[in-house]
Amino acid sequence: MHTVDCEVRLYDNFFSKENPNEGQEGQDFTANLNPNSLEALSDCKAELSLSDAAIGARYQFERLGYFCVDTNSVSGRLILNRTIGLRDSWSKIEGREKR
Q: What is the pLDDT at residue 17? A: 84
Q: What is the pLDDT at residue 98? A: 59
Distances in Å between the alpha carbon of 17 and those of 8, 9, 29? 25, 22, 10
Residue-range domain boundaries for the chain: 3-20+29-98
Q: What is the pLDDT at residue 96? A: 57
CATH superfamily for 3-20+29-98 is Ribosomal Protein L25; Chain P (2.40.240.10)
pLDDT averaged per 10 residues in sequence order, the chain, 99 residues: 91 86 82 91 93 94 91 93 78 58
Cα separation, 94 vs 64, in Å, equals 18
Indicate the pairing of strand 58-61 with strand 38-47: unpaired
Q: What is the pLDDT at residue 38? A: 93
Neighbouring C-alpha atoms within 13 Å toward the C-beta of 2: 0
Name the pTM for this structure: 0.74
Q: What is the pLDDT at residue 68? A: 97
